[in-house]
Amino acid sequence: MGDILFSSWGKSIIDNRGKKDQDLEKQTTIELPEYFTENKKIKALMGWNGIVIRSPEVDIVDLCRGYIEAVLSHSKTCDRCNYCKTGWKEMIEVLQDIAKGEATGEDIEFMGSAAEAIVSNAKCSIGKIGPSPFLQALKYFSDDFAQAAKGAKPVIPGTYYSKLTAPCIDACPIHLDIPKYIEHIKDTKFAESIKVIRERLPLPGTVGRVCFRPCETHCRRALVDEPVSIKGLKRFVADHELKEGKEPAPEVTPSAKTGKVAIVGCGPAGITCAFHLAVKGHNITLFERLAEPGGMSAVGIPDYRLPRNILQREVEQLKRMGVTLIYNHTIGKETKLSQLENDFDAVFVGIGAQESLPLAIEGENEKIKGFFTGLNYLKEINEGLDPYPQGKKATVIGGGNVAIDCARSLLRTNKESVNLIYRRTRSEMPSDSAEIHDAEQEQVNFHFLTAPKRILAENGRVTGLECIRMKLGEPDKSGRPRPMPVEGSEFIFECDTIISAIGQKIDLSFLEGIEGVQTSPWNTMVVDEFTKQSSRPKLFFAGDCETGPDALITACAGGRKAAQSIDRMINQIPLEYETEHYFDKLFKIVNVYDPKEEIKKVEPRKRLHAKALPPEIRKSNFDEVESGFSAQEAVSEAERCLRCYQVITVAV
């Protein structure tokens, strides 16, 4: 990139001002895209990792004003540190004087000292990291400040977009304001905390139990000791509300115009979409093919991880908000999608990925007694049944969460042995590592580098599974090493139960009679990444049917985006991208989390782990394994949060 005038991004300085073309240095610490929005070029950037200036039109003094005003507006919401409260404001006042050409050298020095005082006294990143690009501006653009201060160079106002984020917020697909809800827990304001979560997520008790925690993998506290138990804190506020006997009561603020919306599928995507539309006063009818709500969180995830009553209570709030729930109603059968499209102002479809991928091996036949797909097996388990009580030796095939849930459920239905085979090694397993650990503790026998070859059956019953050893080769399309069979290494697992859990796919039969809806080569629904609108304007899709099998929080995020778009469409507002979407794109390039960052002056303090039933006790029943934090524990864990808010300003 030859268009860099100045950059301090990532602590390396490039200063191309006044240089000839052949001497221009290239930018290596960041690969900024040319555009912020479709038609707005990025001229400069100022944020936690430095400054990048591309265009000579950028006025550094005004850019600093834009950035500091954004920081100030966010630091106001905190009000914790005096230096932050007053320091940023004083800097703005001086910058305004500079813009009028009415400031002195001492004023500029004062701004530097104020910024340094904030750094040394602030309790969170807004104050500890926020001033750093401004201090760099003062150092490397001192002449620009001096000239402007005495009126020798006019300050030219620019156009800026700013955003407050944090590594955890950015990593969370629905962008929960995690530092904010944790801060409320620190202050024992538990009701305020759950209110912050519900601004985006209607399922805090559910997600607080089974989320894969992308936020925790980007928690800066891990760079000191261990990540904050963000999931546990979310669960705590939901459980606290339940214990207090309070019902969730989200406020409904109707949009200028409200309409009639159909939602297909009562999984996390559909529930979240319904919730956000109901908050805006729309008239919602939700169609679900099963007799109960929750999708995979109800009929997939077993009770020992997510008790049913938690999910059901969170769905009840939809009814109180006026959503009509119609169960045992399959769209595509009882009612056609085309009819919904005619009868409603918009239709959201969140039907998930309901079908199991076949193993495609000899002997695979769902009619053989003792052979099950993981989804069918778990559905029965979640209805309180053991689908095959006569089976005693079970083998599960697969490495994801469905496979682990099957294996742990099998143990809980009194099997003599439960084996799990996976064709790669433990480190490539897609399942949550905490789940693998728990399954190991409960004595699921893992067999890595092993693939199924043939199902053996006699008299219509499973008698064994022929397997072959594997070795790892070069990475495949997924980036993981390709498993390759070791010739002549076949062997037989004696077992009477086989569960195949190697993946899920989307059942597209509901589309019958609808023309022109785009699907991908993987049979997922093709929609706009941010608006979730399909090629038919009234149809919106999100959740697993859009992304392929993923996670609760991703499905909820998709449902929320679709609800925003549907609300706009009903209000005849063009479905343009919101600034949040452009920042989402930018943050994929400008990393908000730096795993190599060195964090100083923070006393290490161990993470609190939720208590769990001992493996010998828990593996004989479906009781919930983990118990939540007490109020005292939650406050103590919340105190470990470093509140890593950061601001970025883009000049366009």
Ligand X SMILES: Cc1cc2nc3c(=O)[nH]c(=O)nc-3n(C[C@H](O)[C@H](O)[C@H](O)COP(=O)(O)OP(=O)(O)OC[C@H]3O[C@@H](n4cnc5c(N)ncnc54)[C@H](O)[C@@H]3O)c2cc1C
Lookup result for tokens 């056609």: 336
Out of 267, 370, 452, 464, the residue judged to bind ligand X by CB under 6 A: 267
Cα first-last separation, the chain: 18
- The letter for the amino acid at 256 is A
What is the per-residue binding string for ligand X in 344-373, x denoting contact by CB under 6 A?
A: ------xxx-x-------------------
Within 284-323, the residues that bind ligand X by CB under 6 A are 287-290, 295-297, 300-301
Stretch that binds ligand X, among 318-326, 483-491, 552-560, 644-652 (CB under 6 A): 552-560
Out of 266, 311, 511, 625, the residue judged to bind ligand X by CB under 6 A: 266
50: β partners: 47
Q: Is 205 in the site for ligand X (CB under 6 A)?
A: no
* ∠ CA 401-545-296, rounded to 5°: 40
Q: How far is the CB of 628 from ligand X (least distance, A)?
A: 16
In the complex with ligand X, the residue whose CB is nearer, 483 or 549, is 549
DSSP assignment string, 427-461: GG--S-HHHHHHHHHTT-EEE-SEEEEEEEEETTE
Report the distance separating Cα 55 and Cα 130, nearest Å: 23
In the complex with ligand X, the residue whose CB is nearer, 94 or 266, is 266
The conformation of residue 577, written as its DSSP 8-state character, comes to P
Report the distance separating Cα 614 and Cα 177, nearest Å: 34
Q: How far is the CB of 154 from ligand X (least distance, A)?
A: 54
With 0-12 CB in 10 A as exposed, 13-18 as middle and 19+ as buried, what is 427? exposed
Report the distance separating Cα 548 and Cα 505, nearest Å: 7
Q: How far is the CB of 643 from ligand X (least distance, A)?
A: 25
3-state SS, residue 52:
strand
CA dihedral 626, 630, 635, 639 (to 10 degrees): -40
- The letter for the amino acid at 34 is E
Report the distance separating Cα 408 and Cα 442, nearest Å: 8
Q: Is 338 in the site for ligand X (CB under 6 A)?
A: no
Report the distance separating Cα 495 and Cα 493, nearest Å: 6
Report the distance separating Cα 80 and Cα 125, nearest Å: 12
Q: How far is the CB of 401 from ligand X (least distance, A)?
A: 4
β-pairing verdict for 35-37 and 40-41: antiparallel
In the complex with ligand X, the residue whose CB is nearer, 248 or 398, is 398
Out of 227, 248, 543, 628, the residue judged to bind ligand X by CB under 6 A: 543
Site size for ligand X, by CB under 6 A?
Answer: 39
Contact present, 230 and 182 (Cβ < 8 Å)? yes
Q: How far is the CB of 478 from ligand X (least distance, A)?
A: 18
Q: How far is the CB of 209 from ligand X (least distance, A)?
A: 8
What is the per-residue binding string for ligand X in 139-178, x denoting contact by CB under 6 A?
A: ----------------------------------------
Q: Is 268 in the site for ligand X (CB under 6 A)?
A: yes
Q: Is 405 in the site for ligand X (CB under 6 A)?
A: yes
Out of 216, 303, 544, 626, the residue judged to bind ligand X by CB under 6 A: 544
In the complex with ligand X, the residue whose CB is nearer, 32 or 207, is 207
In the complex with ligand X, the residue whose CB is nearer, 141 or 287, is 287
Residues that bind ligand X (CB under 6 A): 210-212, 264-270, 287-290, 295-297, 300-301, 330-332, 350-352, 354, 378, 401-402, 405, 510, 543-544, 549-553, 555
